Structure 1
Amino acid sequence: MDDFQSLAGRLLVAMPGISDPRFEHAVILICAHRPDHAMGLRLDRPAPGVNLKKVLTKLSTPVPDDADSRAVLIGGPVERERGFVLHTDDWLIDDASLAFGAGFAMTGTREALLAMVDPATGPHRSVLLLGYAGWGDGQLEDELGENVWLVADADPELIFDADHASKWVRVLAGLGIDPARLSGQIGRA
């Protein structure tokens, strides 16, 4: 595919009327995108009843004071038992971290979990997510062609802030779109 443009480091914003209810009002950061696959992490859906303190306690890991106020997000419907730390690229593990976009990285190791709670040596900003969103060969391109998703620039402030409920509305506002004026109907000119 000569005209392929990777969306890694960009946001996908679900359009109203998306046929999969798991992605209603979703804001997804694309971490990897190639012609044959894409992978992203949903940024706006806290896992019910789970916070960073509960995860760290279960893993017998030291728990910082702010851990009970840090949400764990549902990154997507694929491999929901698997954890990923989305973080700034100022902290990386060779052969384990995937750096992408402008200043982002993702690591799925216990070392990343430990680093995210160590302000002296860990990444500047981070969030723990369970699962991911994935697309097979040409699937994301097909969905984009069907106007299932809007594409927006990634804003680190929005990505790492704790106001998860308003992320969809804020990304749309950043695109100059009033969500009340969006239609769930799909059309072509």
Structure 2
Amino acid sequence: MVDETSDFFGVGKNKINPEKGKVLIAEPFLEGRYFKRSLVLLVECNQNGAVGFVLNKPINLTIDEVLINIAHFEGEVFIGGPVDTNRIYFLHTIPDLIPDSIHIFENLYWGGDFVILKNLIEQKVVRPDQVRFFAGYSGWSIGQLSDEINENSWLVSQLGVQEIMNCNNERLWAQSLRRMGGRYKMWSNFPENPGMN
């Protein structure tokens, strides 16, 4: 009989492969400003590496407070990751309105013509639940993400498009783990600083 407590914080039998459209859930002890208790949507994942956006780290500013020459829009900006943080990236569900979008899965897309998006915002054609903005992105070089998963830094899971477009707070990390049940539900209750428990 296997003692589950012997590897309580190991990812264990989770065998979902990291691929475009999947979500990485940080294990409880993963540290750092960007990845501590984070969920990261993978928008690209292949033999050359991986690219993703942290979904649950809002910076409490709207896009028109971050960029000049864009109309007021209630769409909040999130920290996408530690790479290229001086640039804005976006996810959306309106590929018919934004040319050059990259398909992720189902009705979820990455990027496209930002000038057209700015015009759509000015014309009040798009809603905040259709577009998500990120400052920077998360990136992994060849083999790096696989190594981190093997070291139990990440659990691979998935969320629906609506959840991805509407998740807007740091509680999403715990909520996602509770939904998975078992040891992962217990992970969600583990204090950020065990010494303070």
CA offset at residue 78 of structure 1?
A: 0.3
Q: C-alpha separation between the residues in 1 aligned to 2:35 and 2:95? A: 30
Which of 106, 112, 126 aligns to 2:110? It is 106
Displacement of 1:151: 0.9
Change (3 A) 1:38 1:92: farther
Q: How many residues align?
A: 172
Residues 18 and 79 of structure 1, relative CA distance in 2, 3 Å threshold = same
1:46 aligns with 2:58: yes
Match of residue 31, structure 1, among 43, 46, 66: 43
Q: Which amino acid aligns with 1:54?
A: E
Structure 2 counterparts to residues 147-166 of structure 1, below 5 A: 147-161=152-166, 163-166=168-171
Alignment of 1:1-189 (within 5 A): 7-48=19-60, 50-55=61-66, 58-59=68-69, 61-63=70-72, 67=73, 69-91=74-96, 93-94=98-99, 96-107=100-111, 109-115=114-120, 120=125, 125-161=130-166, 163-176=168-181, 177-178=184-185, 179-180=188-189
Q: Partners of 1:117 and 1:32 in 2: how far apart?
A: 30
Indicate the RMSD between aligned Cα atoms, in angstroms: 2.8
Q: Is the 8 A contact 2:43 2:52 kept in 1?
A: yes
TM (norm. structure 2) is 0.75
TM-score of the superposed pair, with normalisation by structure 1: 0.77
Unmatched 5+ residue regions in structure 1? 185-189
Deviates more, 1:35-44 or 1:115-124: 115-124
Structure 1 CA distance for aligned equivalents of residues 33 and 171 of structure 2: 18
Larger Rg belongs to: 2
* Pair 1:182–1:72, CA change in 2 (3 A): same
